[in-house]
Amino acid sequence: MNQPKLLLIGRNGQVGWELARTLAPLGRLICPTREELDLTDLESVRRTVRQVRPDVIVNAAAYTRVDQAECERELAFLVNARAPAVLAEIARQLGSLLVHYSTDYVFDGQSSAAYVEDSPPAPLNVYGESKLAGEQGIQATGARYLILRTSWIYATRGRNFLRMVLRAARDARPLRIVNDQVGVPTWSRMIAEATAAITAGRLNCDEAPASDNDGIYHLCAAGQTSWFGFAVAILEECIRQLERRGADSRVYEKALASASPITTPEYPTAAQRPAFSVLCPSKLLSRFRLTLPPWREQLRLAVEEINVYQQL
């Protein structure tokens, strides 16, 4: 029996780096470089995917610079909308499954309850608009697809909120963090592990080309918090783990004592962000019997990994 081929796009991103590990046991994993497959060059996308002829395409690449997108609209739409639609069209032609990631920023934040997959999207910024256009472009092709909306992604490597808080604490920089935007912090590793579980299930079953499980799913941790609440939790977890190791935690204690909550107007940005972008992941549980741990538990595991390598 031939091994299935999986094409991973965006290998070096926060989620992509974790996917390279979690997808590897599922078959022959192919991770092209940006020179080989550049989402800003649609011909290179077409050429590479057709050469590989994968059974599954996992697109973990995206334009994610939320504020810069306000002045780079064309580039954001090229990477986040036009390229995914091209991937979906090729996937339809090859009979492949496309797994693609979207965002909580497709919503306007006016809801008082967690957003479900059928909640009407109304993005507030160019980034959210481009990601919504990507969803719509994929759906219009008739390809087999899974669109996984994620939120407030962080990782133990690269540039993200978790590492920003740690750097600020070590540099003794004041932490003034927005406290009136609420969402769900989600560790990139959990996203990758859930993606691998879903993909394995799709590869290991005989199903019609148009599966009942195709569609949009919210893939995020359980619970919710503000950015300030997330920052406080990061510092508290660092202190707890360092104390357990018998190491000096004073840097983080000082950062926690001096951290202050601020409002969105006190931290103006080029892009408007939703005040409430909590996603409800219940559909993921009902369809795939998957649920991600609460955000605090995910954070504990992530900080524990950093602590193991004594990088706190």
Report pLDDT for 181: 96
With tokens 């499980």, the residue in question is 213
| Domains of the chain, residue spans | 5-151+187-221+279-293
Report pLDDT for 169: 94
Angle value at C-alpha 31, between 25 and 32, nearest 5 degrees:
165
Report pLDDT for 5: 93
> Per residue of the chain (312 residues), what is the pLDDT tens digit?
578 999 999 999 999 999 999 999 999 999 998 888 999 999 999 999 999 999 999 999 999 999 999 999 999 999 999 999 999 999 999 999 999 999 999 999 999 899 999 999 999 999 999 999 999 999 999 999 999 999 999 999 889 999 999 999 999 999 999 999 999 999 999 999 999 999 998 787 654 444 667 899 999 999 999 999 999 999 999 999 999 888 889 999 999 999 999 999 999 999 999 999 999 999 999 889 988 999 999 999 999 998 766 676
d(CA 114, CA 97): 28
Point out the residues that are catalytic. 127
Report pLDDT for 205: 63
Report pLDDT for 1: 57
Determine the topology of domain 5-151+187-221+279-293 in CATH: Rossmann fold (3.40.50)
Residue 3 · residue 28 · CB < 8 Å: yes
**Span 211-226, pLDDT tens digits:** 667 899 999 999 999 9
Stated pTM of the model: 0.93
The tokens describing 17, both together, are 């780096």
Report pLDDT for 210: 45
Q: Which long-range contacts (CB under 8 A, 24 or more apart) does 265-268 make?
A: 266/176, 266/178, 267/176, 267/178
Report pLDDT for 164: 95
Report pLDDT for 145: 95
Report pLDDT for 151: 96
Report pLDDT for 209: 41
| Sheet strand arrangement including 215-218 | 28-30, 5-9, 56-59, 97-103, 144-150, 215-218
The β-bridge relationship of strands 5-9 and 28-30 is parallel
Taking CA atoms, 272 is separated from 111, 127, 168, 268, in Å, by 16, 10, 24, 9
